[in-house]
Structure 1
Amino acid sequence: MIHLSKIISFTVIFMVFFQACKNSPNTIEETKNELELISSEKINVSEASGLAINTSGSNLYTVSDYTGNIYKLTTDGTVLKEFVYGGDDVEGISMVSSTKVLLVEERTKEIVEYDLNSKNYKKHKVDYSNKDFNSGLEGIAFNLNDNTIFVLNEKDPGILMRLKSDFSIIESYDLDFASDYSGIFHDKELNILWILSDQSKTVNKCSLKGALIKSYAIDVIKAEGIAVTNSNIYIVSDSNSKLFKFKKPIE
């Protein structure tokens, strides 16, 4: 016969163990999508980091942190073309026109103007206070409404900078709504910014000064790039080389 004292002791031990597991920092918490997931497709790009889309919404562009090159994709993730750049630590991309894109180099704190036709490029140093090679420029967005440029400093601190077309800084804003900031896109129609966080696993709808309007949780590991159309939000994952398509929220 099992004594009552032993049953009580076993119950106490079990509850202590359960609580320890629950509070353990290594416990993996499930994230549920607050945006409607339409599809997720594997893409043949290693360590995709950054995402852009052409004005017609027919093609996406991403960069590889592994090869340092630029890739043109269909909206279902099929690679159509590779543009050789060979960047050192390229982390973001944005379209200026059908033949020109902007890239950011994290370690060197540079913006790169890249011509898709000639494959020629120019580099421009962003003059701001940051000496951390691993927490530098992480995303870029070209504003087609006024030809200004938005760039993100990833973290420590998180900063949104608005630049002139000559790459000089107009203003900078401290960001505090996420653990890091991994991608950015300017929504021409709504004239707002969509800012992605890898560590917080969120898509964040923001004003042009980085003020949070609304945050949406997403179940995407290492989300590194975002592009938005009138109906969809596209996100690329660095770790598993996937392209996710979500329905764009109406509100």
Structure 2
Amino acid sequence: MTTQNTRSYLTKWKKSVMLAVIAFCVVAQLAMAQDNSTLRFIEKHKIYDGSNGFKEPSGLAFRAGELLSVSDNAGAIYTLDAEGSINEKASFEIPAKDLEGITLLDDDIALVVEEERTRVLTVNLVKRRVIAETSLSDMTGADRVAALRTNTPKNKSLEGITVDRSNGVIYVVTEAEPRLLLSIAPDLSEIMDIWLLSEQVGFSVEGIEDSALDVSGITVSPSTGNLWIVSDQARTLFEFNLTNSKTKSYPLKYQNHGKTYQIKHAEGIAIDPEERRIYIVNDDGKDSHLYGFALPTSP
């Protein structure tokens, strides 16, 4: 072999090694990213309860070791234990319908959203009655929302609500067409900020058309202030950072007895900060469940 051929061979060999190293690094990075985007499954419990009207779970909130939920088909607030069983004595009816989300202002006051009427109900949990009703259209800044939703069907309206207990700010999401995140003043008087939950800020899932991707529930992490938002159609959980508008996504799936399952029709989400656990409810008829996952550590 001539000196020139040797040099040519060595050059090609070095390039091949470099390409192999680069390929290995890319694969490793992708694997790490996939690991970071996986929720650690803990448990699941059946929650469908036709005898109590709890047939279409659609919202979730955490309160001192128990969960509060609403059902799309019933005007009621349900209290569940950590295994999804209804506490009938602590559950009660309210004069409302099409309920899609629930959160807590404090341990005694809940906020509930009605989708088609686009209003927020303030409920005294001790007295078990609605003490105020606030329509989104009556809030200062509602015209900005209306301008973005000129052709939006009524059934694509309010889908979830949460409160940042550190400052009292209320956040609501609209389901689709378009997907919006609104921050609302603690006294429900004003829509302060609006975010479009678009592909540009990370609300996208491979294989799901943007027009089909919805949002169906929301909660805030007490430790980070990040918002956790579930999507029914995308079967995905999004973590949205309000500071930089960056989003991380987690497929809603889990393994059980060696098989991988996806969570269909996720509708409500809550966080237990002490146990660092995410709870999710889905609306899947008699196969509706309460799921528990470990809360990922945010960077």
* TM-score with structure 2 setting the length: 0.69
2:174 paired residue number: 153
Do 1:93 and 1:140's aligned partners in 2 also have CA atoms closer than 8 Å? yes
Residue 231 of structure 2 corresponds to residue 197 of structure 1: yes
Q: How far is the alpha carbon of 1:224 from its aligned partner?
A: 0.2
The equivalent position to 2:267 in structure 1, one of 218, 221, 224, is 224
In the alignment, the residues of structure 1 paired with residue 85 and residue 288 of structure 2 have an alpha-carbon distance, to the nearest angstrom, of 12
Do 2:160 and 2:216's aligned partners in 1 also have CA atoms closer than 8 Å? yes
2:193 paired residue number: 171
Q: Secondary structure at the match of 1:79?
A: coil
Superposition pairs of residues 58-207 of structure 1, within 5 angstroms: 58-80=65-87, 81-121=90-130, 122-127=132-137, 128-129=145-146, 130=149, 131-167=152-188, 168-176=190-198, 177-178=203-204, 179-207=213-241
Superposition pairs of residues 41-52 of structure 1, within 5 angstroms: 41-43=45-47, 44=49, 45-52=54-61
Q: Which runs of 5+ in 1 are unaligned?
A: 1-32
In the alignment, the residues of structure 2 paired with residue 47 and residue 209 of structure 1 have an alpha-carbon distance, to the nearest angstrom, of 34
Distance 1:134 1:210, change over 3 A: farther
Distance 1:209 1:181, change over 3 A: farther
Query: Following superposition, which runs of at least 4 residues in structure 1 exceed 4 angstroms of deviation?
Result: none
CA radius of gyration, larger in? 2
Q: How far is the alpha carbon of 1:132 from its aligned partner?
A: 1.8
In the alignment, the residues of structure 2 paired with residue 162 and residue 40 of structure 1 have an alpha-carbon distance, to the nearest angstrom, of 32
Do 1:173 and 1:210's aligned partners in 2 also have CA atoms closer than 8 Å? no
Q: Read off the aligned partner of 2:272 and give its amino acid letter.
A: T
Q: Secondary structure at the match of 1:68?
A: strand
Q: How far is the alpha carbon of 1:48 from its aligned partner?
A: 0.5
Q: Secondary structure at the match of 2:39?
A: coil
Larger CA deviation: 147-156 vs 39-48: 39-48
Q: How far is the alpha carbon of 1:75 from its aligned partner?
A: 1.0
Q: How far is the alpha carbon of 1:210 from its aligned partner?
A: 8.5
In the alignment, the residues of structure 1 paired with residue 67 and residue 155 of structure 2 have an alpha-carbon distance, to the nearest angstrom, of 26
The equivalent position to 2:282 in structure 1, one of 226, 237, 240, is 237
In the alignment, the residues of structure 1 paired with residue 45 and residue 245 of structure 2 have an alpha-carbon distance, to the nearest angstrom, of 32
Q: How far is the alpha carbon of 1:115 from its aligned partner?
A: 0.6
List per-residue Cα deviations over 1:10-66 (Å, max 9, x = no partner).
xxxxxxxxxxxxxxxxxxxxxxx9312111101132100010001x3x011000111
Higher strand share: 1
% same residue: 33
2:34 paired residue number: none
Q: How far is the alpha carbon of 1:250 from its aligned partner?
A: 2.1
Q: How far is the alpha carbon of 1:212 from its aligned partner?
A: 3.5
Q: Secondary structure at the match of 2:58?
A: strand
In the alignment, the residues of structure 1 paired with residue 244 and residue 236 of structure 2 have an alpha-carbon distance, to the nearest angstrom, of 15
Q: Read off the aligned partner of 2:217 and give its amino acid letter.
A: G
Larger CA deviation: 138-147 vs 34-43: 34-43
Q: CA RMSD in A?
A: 1.6
In the alignment, the residues of structure 2 paired with residue 202 and residue 169 of structure 1 have an alpha-carbon distance, to the nearest angstrom, of 27
Residue 282 of structure 2 corresponds to residue 250 of structure 1: no
Report the number of matched residues.
Answer: 217
Q: How far is the alpha carbon of 1:213 from its aligned partner?
A: 3.0
* TM-score with structure 1 setting the length: 0.82
Do 1:204 and 1:212's aligned partners in 2 also have CA atoms closer than 8 Å? no
Q: How far is the alpha carbon of 1:118 from its aligned partner?
A: 1.3
In the alignment, the residues of structure 2 paired with residue 245 and residue 197 of structure 1 have an alpha-carbon distance, to the nearest angstrom, of 16
